[in-house]
Amino acid sequence: PNARVVVLFTDQEQTKSLFRMARKQNLCGHFVWVGSDGLGVNLDDLGEAQECAVGSLSL
């Protein structure tokens, strides 16, 4: 329940959806996102949800 790091193995559409939902739930800045190539989305594609992706790490 106290996890702060989220490891993502998602495609780009799933990643976009996740960041939109995180923003909707007011969770931006709460988690550190680490992911595969699906996390390498263009921040401009996220619209208002891009604030949730700032600082994420894509491997």
Is this structure's pTM higher than 0.95? no
Tens place of pLDDT per residue across the chain (59 aa) = 688 999 999 888 898 899 999 999 999 999 999 988 777 767 777 788 888 888 888 88
Q: Whole domain around residue 17: which residue ranges?
A: 5-58
Q: How many domains would you assign to the chain? A: 1
Give DSSP secondary structure letters for 1-59.
----EEEE---HHHHHHHHHHHHHTT-TTT-EEEESGGG---GGGGGGGHHHHTT-EE-
CB of 29 closer than 8 Å to CB of 4:
no
